[in-house]
Amino acid sequence: MHKGSDDRPIGVFDSGIGGLTVAQEITRLLPNEQLVYFGDTARVPYGTKSKESVIRFSKDNVNVLLKHNVKIIVVACNTSTSWALNVLRKEYKIPIIGVIEPGSRRAVEMSRKQRIGVIATPSTINSGKYTQTILKISPSAVVVAKPCPLFVPLVEEGWLDHKVTEHVAAEYLSSIKDQDVDTLILGCTHYPLLKPVLQKVMGKHVTLVDSATETAREVKKLLEAQGLLRVSKHPPRHEFLVSDEPEHFRIVAKRFLGHDLPHVRRVDHV
Ligand code: DGL
């Protein structure tokens, strides 16, 4: 390792499988980087849990990743980012990136009328974090937030293009459509997989923003700025860790990524 580089892996955690959408964007943008992904499948979902539980789980997840000698940590889970990002940044020295700021910034850039919808888990919406973050960037914006708890199980079930999902989406999104938003933030790791249905329900004139791409850009910027890019010529070997049995993760991961994940290992929390 020479000066201005760092061959250690990037750590990514999520409540379960959904953060693979973020991990995938990171590997697409930074193909030479190595990832350690931890999905807390034993305790998923976080989206219906309390602030206290989400903070405790998030700290445990950071501790798992630190054991794998990561150089930065990406909190791919929106619910964890909502409640725990500030706490984690205070308690740990390692650089930590969440998904809410990047997504919010992108939405403000994209929105012509500054009328922005946010859909996410109940816990994320209750935290008010998206609304706060958007208003900090664009104080005159109008933010319409809506929890959509049924979307996560529908995605896990693989019902991405199913009439039931379309009905549920029409029901959830009607109050957001009434507010004439021109941009909709998909504030949950699972929602990018519902893009076709969500676009159909919202109409073509509404821009859908998912945080994954923007977060990956943020990771790249940080690694470059801090001289932390991996320079090794060996092809990267990503590791996927879960806190429950790996089989279910593998099956759903295939749905998320379109290909098999070869190495998925179960690890216990520290
Ligand atoms: N990863 C969660 C999020 O982005 C969704 C799944 C869950 O509820 O744990 O908020």
Question: Is the confidence at residue 83, as pLDDT, over 80?
Answer: yes
Query: Of all atoms in ligand 1, which is nearest to the CA of residue 79?
Result: 10
Catalytic residues: 77, 188
What confidence score (pLDDT) does residue 108 get?
98
Count of H-run helices and E-run strands, the chain: 11, 10
Whether the model pTM is above 0.85: yes
Cα(258)–Cα(168) distance, rounded to whole angstroms?
25
The larger pLDDT score, comparing residue 269 to residue 50, is at 50
Q: So where are the chain's domains?
A: 10-98+213-266, 100-211
> Where residue 3 falls among pLDDT bands split at 50, 70, 90?
low
Long-range contacts of 193-199 (CB under 8 A, 24+ apart): 193/21, 193/155, 193/160, 193/255, 193/256, 194/151, 194/154, 194/155, 194/160, 194/165, 194/169, 196/160, 196/161, 197/160, 197/161, 197/165, 197/166, 197/169, 198/169, 198/173
Helix (H) or strand (E) holding 161: none
Report whether CATH 3.30.1180.20 matches the domain 100-211: no
Closest Cα to atom 1 of ligand 1: 77
pLDDT, position 179: 97
Q: Cα(260) to centroid of ligand 1, in Å?
A: 22
Q: Poorest-confidence range of 48-62, 136-150, 187-201, 244-258? A: 244-258
Band of pLDDT at residue 270, cut at 50, 70 and 90? low
User: How far is the centre of ligand 1, averaged over its atoms, from the C-alpha of 192 (Å)?
Assistant: 12
CA–CA dist 175, 171 (Å, integer): 8
Atom of ligand 1 nearest to the CA of 188: 4
Distance CA 205, CA 84 (A): 34
The percent of residues above 70 in pLDDT, for the chain, comes to 99
Which residues line the pocket of ligand 1, CB cutoff 6 A? Answer: 14-16, 18, 44-47, 77-79, 121, 124, 152, 188-190
> What is the rounded CA–CA span in Å between residue 18 and residue 252?
9
The residues near 67 (Cβ < 8 Å, ≥ 6 apart) are: 270
Beta bridge mates, 43: none
Determine the average pLDDT of the residues in 69-84.
98
Using a 10 angstrom Cβ sphere, with 0-12 exposed, 13-18 middle and 19 or more buried, the burial of residue 7 is middle
Give the C-alpha separation, 202 to 194, whole Å: 12
Mutate to test the pocket of ligand 1, among 37, 46, 81, 252 (most ligand atoms within 8 A of CB): 46
Atom of ligand 1 nearest to the CA of 46: 9
pLDDT tens for residues 97-108? 999 999 999 999
Task: Check: CB of residue 19 under 8 Å from CB of residue 98.
Answer: no
Instruction: Return the structure tokens found at 35.
Output: 């990832």
State the average pLDDT over residues 258-263.
86
For 10-98+213-266, CATH number out of 3.40.30.10, 3.50.30.50, 3.40.47.10, 3.40.50.1860 equals 3.40.50.1860
Residue 106 has phi, psi (to 5 degrees) of -60, -45
Taking the centre of ligand 1 as the mean of its atom positions, its distance from the CA of residue 224, in whole angstroms, is 29
Q: Please, which pLDDT band fits residue 142 given cuts at 50, 70 and 90?
A: very high
What is the distance in A from the centroid of ligand 1 to the CA of 44? 8
Average model confidence (pLDDT) for the chain?
Answer: 95
pLDDT for position 37: 97
In terms of phi and psi (left: phi > 0; alpha: psi -120 to 50; beta: otherwise), the region of 59 is alpha
- In the chain, % of residues over pLDDT 90: 90
Q: Is the dihedral of CA 198, 204, 206, 211 positive or negative?
A: positive
**Quick one: pLDDT at residue 229?**
98
For the stretch 160-215, pLDDT in tens is 999 999 999 999 999 999 999 999 999 999 999 999 999 999 999 999 999 898 99
- Do 100-211 and 10-98+213-266 have the same topology in CATH? yes
Task: Considering only residues 255 and 81, tell me which one the structure prediction assigns the higher pLDDT.
Answer: 81
